[in-house]
Amino acid sequence: MSSRRTFLKQSALGLGAAALGARPARAEHPLRILILGGTSFIGPFQVQYALDRGHRVTLFNRGRTNTHLFPDVERLIGDRNDDLESLKGRTWDVVLDNSSSNPDWVRLSAAALTGSVGRYFYVSSRSAYADTGAIPMHAGHPTHTYATAGVSQDIPTRELPYGLRKAMAEREAMEAFPEAHVILRPGLIIGPRDETDRFTYWPVRIARGGEVLAPGSPEHFVQIIDARDFAEWMIRLAENGNTGVFNAVGPANPRPLAELLYGIRAVTTAETTFTWVVTDFLLDNGARPYSDLPVWMPPLKGREGFARFDMTREVAAGLTYRPLAVTVRDTLDYHVSRPPERQAELRAGMSPEMEADLLAKWRARGDG
């Protein structure tokens, strides 16, 4: 495990490189790129990187979110439920489908675009896997079916578990574009513009200082991905003509949770201590992994490989990772740019009261 001193040195180097602010080189062969969505979280990063690379971008959405962004980019207005008319009679090299966990939307969009686009990119999820028990995990592991999800086929689509809906949506894209699909399965996507706060909780909490409840074991692994690394990689995959199924988590060598938390602390000026509280105690006291304690998923049965993905193939296909320090700094900067009431109400993580209560119970138990 890297020491904090080593991390600080590496972070300084990474921040120095990032501060250069060099714009990406222009692509040799500009593409016509259609983005379904494009105005929330990863979408603006995709659009900006594609424009910087010299590509021609078209956005298709309902025209309701962040309409001020990219005023010079072509926009097609429609609704994936029942209005795809504006897509007719047009052609693009690739389509990036960011926005759907509804397999019906993917089926309709893919059908409307068959013969109009060269490749269909679908942003799925690590949750599409039927389980993550293998070490290492890779893209060949089976995805959810009704049987593995334990639900009836009579259940309305909108009520199906998220992972099953993602897996079903993948299959719609694959069926419509059997030789020309790109399926991407990210884990937790983090960084600026994230409104779920599932990573933001940790930089904000650690920057507040004091005694921080650290879940499970320092050796539990974490694999996440900066939204910008993910978005930019998708554009490079489009440029390079890739097809197939890829995972999208990082870093390539899974990061121990202790390294993540100490790495976050290294970016702040907070006086912080970590108290490690074992998994069984947290679960017995109602603390929920990935919710009350975001990012952390203990390696329980069926999830041993949740953060143990082999990323060799993805790195070979051009996936790169910016330093953790850059992600943390930019996440904090984004957080403090939000309205005060939004800063005060994180959408993930424990309340200070819950954390204090768990720490008090842990100390009273005599094992802390």
The answer to whether the Cα torsion of 161, 248, 53, 180 is positive or negative is negative
| CATH architecture of the domain with residue range 4-362 | 3-Layer(aba) Sandwich (3.40)
**Own/partner pairs, 312-318, CB within 8 angstroms, 24+ separation:** 312/252, 313/138, 313/139, 313/246, 314/246, 314/247, 314/248, 314/252, 315/252, 317/237, 317/240, 317/242, 317/246, 318/233, 318/236, 318/237, 318/240
The pLDDT, as a whole number, for residue 21 is 55
The pLDDT, as a whole number, for residue 367 is 53
The pLDDT, as a whole number, for residue 223 is 98
Q: Is 246 helix (H, G, I), strand (E, B) or coil?
A: strand
Amino acid identity at 167: A
Residue pointed to by tokens 């222009």: 26
The pLDDT, as a whole number, for residue 23 is 80
The pLDDT, as a whole number, for residue 366 is 67
For residue 362, give Cα distances in angstroms to 147, 275, 277, 284: 39, 10, 7, 12
Pick from 62, 105, 60, 108: nearest CA to 87: 60
Distance CA 131, CA 303 (A): 7
> How does pLDDT run along the chain (368 residues), one tens digit per residue?
333 333 333 333 333 333 335 789 999 999 999 999 999 999 999 999 999 999 999 999 999 989 999 999 999 999 999 999 999 999 999 999 997 789 999 999 999 999 999 999 999 999 999 999 999 999 999 999 999 999 999 999 999 999 999 999 999 999 999 999 999 999 999 999 999 999 999 999 999 999 999 999 999 999 999 999 999 999 999 999 999 999 999 999 999 999 999 999 999 999 999 999 999 999 999 999 999 999 999 999 999 999 999 999 999 999 999 999 999 999 999 999 999 999 999 999 999 999 999 999 999 986 54
User: Where in the chain are the domains?
Assistant: 4-362
